[in-house]
Amino acid sequence: MEWSTEYAAETITLVLLVIMLFKMNWRSGTRPPVAATMFGIIIHFKRLHDFVLHHHRRHKTYRIPYPTFSYVVTTDPENVEHILRSNFANYIKGKPHHDIMEDLLGDGIFSIDGELWREQRKLASFEFSTKVLKDFSSVVFRENAVKLSKILLEKFRSKQTVEMQDGKHVVSEDILPDGFKVKKGDMVAYVPYSMGRMTYLWGSDAEEFRPERWLHNGIFQPESPFKFTAFQAGPRMCLGKDFAYIQMKIVAAVLIRFFKFELVQGMEVRYRPSLTLHMTEDGLNLRVMPRD
């Protein structure tokens, strides 16, 4: 009985402490509105990106309060530019991120900050020079594209379907371009999944697959990297961006030249939340047919 009373008292004290911390962190003022909670994140984890997107349809920037800090998420390109370039030094990977990723990434370019990051990025940039990319892609990518074509052709022969398959730590208090305040110790993230589906960024057809939106008078026009954030932006812009575009162009050119693709109807495309966004084992199923 004595143990139960002591346990109950400790539990009540802990609950009251958590409530007090939440209350301190919940107050709004010039802070981003609270649109979700940590409990919602846990409950909806399997559909995390859609949960975050749901709230972004109402708020370009909002926060998710935790007991000792807030997690601020935004789709506003001006905020993204502020975080990734204008006030770059105030938004870092931070020690918690490094500690979590150290076993996987060590002290590599993806998990560090400061002078060590600058040194590593300078070294890595030489590996992605235009000449290196062209020399490498001219042989390797074309060989791989041919191999993939053979795989697709065999899939057609057997009439099978084919499976195709960053938060920042706030160093010191700051005010984002949209007027919202972030505090030291907060986490801030832009959300590419939500940004790619925002009608205020891409128009009423934002969720439609319409490649011609990138063409103006028949000429390709890239968007600001602070709006189209697939390759980050600012000093941490992905060094492999050009490498990825070359790979995609070569593979797409070969596949579209020889094959037609048809989406298998009635199948839901699902993802698996992870360090990088993967489809589940069901993948994206297509029927592949050779062109005449």
Q: Are 151 and 269 in contact (CB under 8 A)?
A: no
pLDDT in tens, 212-262: 888 888 888 888 999 998 888 999 988 888 888 888 888 888 888 899 999
Q: Report the first-to-last Cα separation within the chain, whole angstroms.
A: 83
Closest CA to 80 of 200, 222, 189, 221: 189
pLDDT category of residue 1 using cuts at 50, 70 and 90: very low
pLDDT in tens, 38-52: 888 888 888 889 999
CA distance 255 to 148: 8
- Would you call 140 helix, strand, or coil by DSSP? helix
H-helix or E-strand spanning residue 175? strand 174-175
Sign of CA dihedral 284, 289, 290, 292: negative
pLDDT in tens, 162-187: 444 478 999 999 999 999 999 999 99
Going by C-beta distance under 8 Å and a sequence separation of 6 or more, which residues neighbour residue 37?
64, 65
- Backbone φ and ψ for 187, nearest 5 degrees, come out as -110, 140
pTM equals 0.77
* Residue 117 confidence (pLDDT) above 50: yes
